[in-house]
Structures are given as C-alpha cells and as structure tokens.
Structure 1
Amino acid sequence: MSKVAWIGLGVMGYPMAGHLKSSGHDVTVFNRTREKTEKWVAEHGGSFGTTPAEAAEGADIVFTCVGNDDDLRAVTLGPDGFYQCLKPGAVHVDHTTASAEIARALYEAAKSRGAGALDAPVSGGQAGAENGKLTVMVGGDESDFAKAQTAIASFAHAVTLIGPSGAGQLTKMVNQICIAGLIQGLAEALNFGMRAGLDMEKVIATISKGAAQSWQMENRWKTMIAGEFEFGFAVDWVRKDFGICFDEARRNGASLPVTALVDQFYADVQEMGGRRWDTSSLIARLNRDESKSS
C-alpha cells in the first residue's frame, strides 16, 4: 500500500479519500476548512497537514480534487504548494475538472522535479464518489499511470489512460458536452409527457429499454418530475465546466451551439435561485416558463 496525500475534501474528495483509507493506504489529508479535515480524520483515521506541502511530505502519490484552475495552481505551485516537496518518483494525480493547459503545465513542473503528473478528472457524480464507482479518464505517461492505477481503483470501477498529458481533461470536456444536450432533451421529454397526461412511470419503463435510454433517465426522471434537485452535480459546477469547454473550443475551432444554448438555460436556473441545484433542474426552467405563459 502507498503513502498518499489527499488535497481537497469537498463533496467528491471527502468520500474518495475515504475509499483510499479503507483500501489500506496510509492517507494524510488537507482541506482549506480545518473543521472538515478534522472531521475526516475522526471518521477515517489517518492524519492531516496544515498546508498542502505538509500533507504531501514524503508521499508516493498526491491526489488533488479542488475547485478550478486557480485553486489547483495555489495548492501545487503556490507558497504552501506541495510541488516544493514532491519527491522524485512520486506522482501527482489531479481529479479536478480543470483546463488541459494547467494539466500540461503541471506535468512539465512535476517532470522538472523528477516526479510525474496525471490529469484524471472523473464522472459519476457524488453518488459515484460515495459508492466508489467513478469513471476516471487519465492523461499522462504510462509509467506514472502504472504507479497510481491501483490506488485510483479504490474509488473507481473504470480507470483508463486516454493519452498524453491533457487528454484526461479533454475527455472530460467531451463528457460534459455529451451530457448538456441529453439533460435538456430529457427535461423537455418529461415535461411534454406530463402535459400530455401520460403515465410517466409506464412511459419511462418502456422507452428506457430502447434507444432513448441513458444514465440520466434511469437515475433522475423521478426526481425531475417531483421537482427535487437538492443533490448531485450543481449548476454552478457545470457552468464552470462549460466555460472550460468553450475556452478549449475557441482554441481548436470546434463548434458547440447546443452546449452554448444549454449553458444559457443554466444561467436562467441560477437566476431562479438554483445555483446549487442538481443539473437535472433544467426541467424547473421549463415549468417556470410555461407557468408564465398560461
């Protein structure tokens, strides 16, 4: 088992780090909010550091799961960042959904220290993190991937090395672009079916066996109809992810018209007070708009 550090105990990182500890790894954690750090240690054991650098001292693998590029830059290259003590042969595994640019920059910074870096964003949401069933898409060197793969598997059911540094983040962008139109389509379909007076349980039981089936349909249709959105992947987060997609699309020339439209729909949901609602809350916007017109 490896000596590992975990930086960032948010709704995803907290249970992911817990799975690592349960798998037998020696885990030291750090979070900006000290209370959350102490709560994790009380619950899982292990130890904590008062700075990212202190937490990562002597670690074979350092995991990060923070908010965005700026947060990632702070915990790695900032004054208290752990890259100052990243030992030769160690691997930094980043689970933040961030830009491919910072992934490549950290890869170069790690290599200059004789260490490695993998960009490894995840899909599966909070439930996937809690149940240890995440999908992890990885960019980086095969030798570094081999060092970290077993540890990552503690909280994942699929871990794939996609390509060189940045490939993991680019794959996550593909994932988010796919989901954008899918959730809007599901919201429109459910809203249509309810207004048509259909028994939606029978409808979903039928169409989920065919080409319309999706994870979102299977896991969110009931809560969408009930107007329950206080869980899962927040609207604020998906808009942050879309921003990363748009930046990359401007660089590579890709056109994202549907994603751009859905992004504006999520802006409407934010204005409705749904910044922390689950992304399935797009149906609430439809209900609001149709209530206004009736």
Structure 2
Amino acid sequence: MKVAFIGLGVMGYPMAGHLAKANIDVCVYNRSHEKALAWQAEFGGSVATTPALAAQGCDLVFCCVGNDDDVRQVTLGENGILAGMPQGSIFVDHTTASAELARELASVALTHGQYFLDAPVSGGQAGAENGVLTVMCGGDAATFAKAQPVMDAYARFSQLMGPVGSGQLAKMVNQICIAGVVQGLAEGFNFAEKVGLDPKALVETISKGAAGSWQMENRYQTMFAGEYDFGFAVDWMRKDLGIAFSEADKHDVALPMTKMVDGFYQEIQENGGNRWDTSSLISRFKK
C-alpha cells in the first residue's frame, strides 16, 4: 500500500509518522518544504513538491491542514490532491472544516472516479503523538471500511457517523461540549482555590464521580498552576466554534452557552493568549 499525507503540523507530523512506523509507504507534502525534509529524516518515506505529486499512485491520501481555504488550496487545481490521485483511490480529510466543504470535495472527487471521507479528529497533539486519536467520519460504509484499518495506525477509535459531512458535524458537537466542560472546570477550580481546597485531593475525589472528565484529569494541574503554553490553542478553538455557529444558524439551533464561552476566549485572545491551551479560561479569574 502507498499513501500520501498532506500537512505536517502539530497533528499531521506525528500522524504521518505512525503510518510510516506501520511499514506503510508514505509520501509527504508540506507548504514548508524544510518541515517535510525533517519528517523524512526522522521517519523515512518520500517527499513531494506539490500535493498532486504526493498523491500520484496512492491508495489513500490523508490531509490535515488549517481551515476550509487551506483544504481547497491543497486539494483543487492542477497541483492539488484530486488532480494527482488515481481513480478508485480514497481522499481522507482530517482537517476540522465545514460540512459544506466536505460535500463539495466529495462531489468533485466523484467526477474523478475517487472516494472521499471527512474525518476530523479529537485528542489533540498528545493524542496524535501517542497514536490514540478518535476519528469521526462521514462517507459511505465501503469507503470507511477500506480506510479504517490504515487510520488505526494513529487512532484508538474511529466511527462512521453517517453520509459525507457527518464527521464534521460530529466534531462540531465535540467542540461545543468541550467549551462547556472547560468553562465549568474554570469556575469550579477557581471556587476551590478561593475556599481553600487542596487541588490534588479534590480532583482525586470528584474525578471518580459524575463530574469526572478527560479535561479534568489532564488539565487540572496546569489550570491550578496557571500554565497554558501548550496544547490546543485558543485560536484553533475559536475557528472550530465559528464553524459550529455557522452550521447552527442554518438550522436555527441556539448555542447560548457556547457563544458565551467563545466571548471569553475572545477576551483571552485580546490579552495575548492566542496560542494558549483552551484550559486558559481559568486565567480570566486570576487577574
């Protein structure tokens, strides 16, 4: 099997590395060619100078870039992924983007005799590095069945959510839920500090009950310490929430709590915390 991976950011770099470690022939492309050469030096494989060249002769092509515009840039046109992929191959987009874009790309791929899955991931940089991401897919069952065993190289769980676009819709729900959980932790932990509770004893106790969550167990120490220079950036979260708001407007769905938290994230951006982890919501109470 030969695959390509387009986009070697904090997520794509380790994800492509797990594919190489699984003894899969991987060709990579990155807008910064030096990053692609660094990946090759670490994992082997090959490097291409355009997405189309990377996709040539591949059974699957994976992509993980920034937003809708970035996906279109590497996918469409004579140098794009779809121009280079052979007929019958599968394009798997791991970018968190709009459901509308997913449907657009699936339609274009179909005219080329190719297949498409929208497959955003959850688990962050640590999940990518440790190969334990969760993948939410949109597409048809036969295409998913072919791609799933390959995605297992970097995912601990993947699920077909429905037709094309359903993966992106599921990711929107994921981010809506995270926003509420992290704001709840920020308020709860701030309350705990003000009333003098021991953070470790507190989390050891309540994490075993109904309040427990991944965010609690993995972020409580840094939230209490006021450390945010890592993880899933506020800028990325606001981009993702913006996609959810646009979709919600189409369906007349109210997201009052999420919009409130998005406003809090905007405050953090305005105070220079653009690249802070999303758990930095608690910083609003530490002034």
Please give the alpha-carbon distance, in whole angstroms, between the structure 2 residues aligned to 1:106 and 1:60.
Answer: 17
Instruction: Please name the residue that 1:92 is paired with.
Output: 91
Q: Deviation per CA, 1:177-218: give whole Å up to 9, x if none.
A: 011111000011001100111111111111111010000000
Counting matched residue pairs gives 287
SS at match of 1:259: helix
> Contact 2:54–2:84 (CA<8 Å) still a contact in 1?
no
* Offset at residue 85 of structure 1 (A): 2.0
Letter in 2 for 1:158: F
SS at match of 1:154: coil
> Contact 2:190–2:285 (CA<8 Å) still a contact in 1?
yes
Which TM-score applies when normalising by structure 1?
A: 0.96
5+ unaligned residues in a row in structure 1: which ranges? 289-294
Written as runs of structure 1 = structure 2, the 5 A alignment for 1:73-84 is: 73-84=72-83
SS at match of 1:5: strand
Letter in 1 for 2:90: V
Please give the alpha-carbon distance, in whole angstroms, between the structure 2 residues aligned to 1:78 and 1:250.
Answer: 31
Moved over 6 A (4+): none
Residue 13 of structure 2 corresponds to residue 14 of structure 1: yes
* Offset at residue 78 of structure 1 (A): 3.2
Residue 23 of structure 2 corresponds to residue 24 of structure 1: yes
Instruction: Please name the residue that 2:127 is paired with.
Output: 128
Residue 72 of structure 2 corresponds to residue 67 of structure 1: no
* Offset at residue 88 of structure 1 (A): 1.0
Written as runs of structure 1 = structure 2, the 5 A alignment for 1:178-257 is: 178-257=177-256
Please give the alpha-carbon distance, in whole angstroms, between the structure 1 residues aligned to 2:45 and 2:83.
Answer: 23
Please give the alpha-carbon distance, in whole angstroms, between the structure 2 residues aligned to 1:78 and 1:233.
Answer: 31
Instruction: Please name the residue that 1:116 is paired with.
Output: 115
Please give the alpha-carbon distance, in whole angstroms, between the structure 2 residues aligned to 1:227 and 1:79.
Answer: 48
Please give the alpha-carbon distance, in whole angstroms, between the structure 2 residues aligned to 1:30 and 1:284.
Answer: 37
Please give the alpha-carbon distance, in whole angstroms, between the structure 1 residues aligned to 2:114 and 2:50.
Answer: 20
Letter in 2 for 1:48: V
Please give the alpha-carbon distance, in whole angstroms, between the structure 1 residues aligned to 2:34 and 2:85.
Answer: 26
Instruction: Please name the residue that 1:291 is paired with.
Output: none
Please give the alpha-carbon distance, in whole angstroms, between the structure 2 residues aligned to 1:74 and 1:197.
Answer: 52
Please give the alpha-carbon distance, in whole angstroms, between the structure 1 residues aligned to 2:110 and 2:268.
Answer: 42
RMSD: 0.7
Instruction: Please name the residue that 1:292 is paired with.
Output: none
Which TM-score applies when normalising by structure 2?
A: 0.99
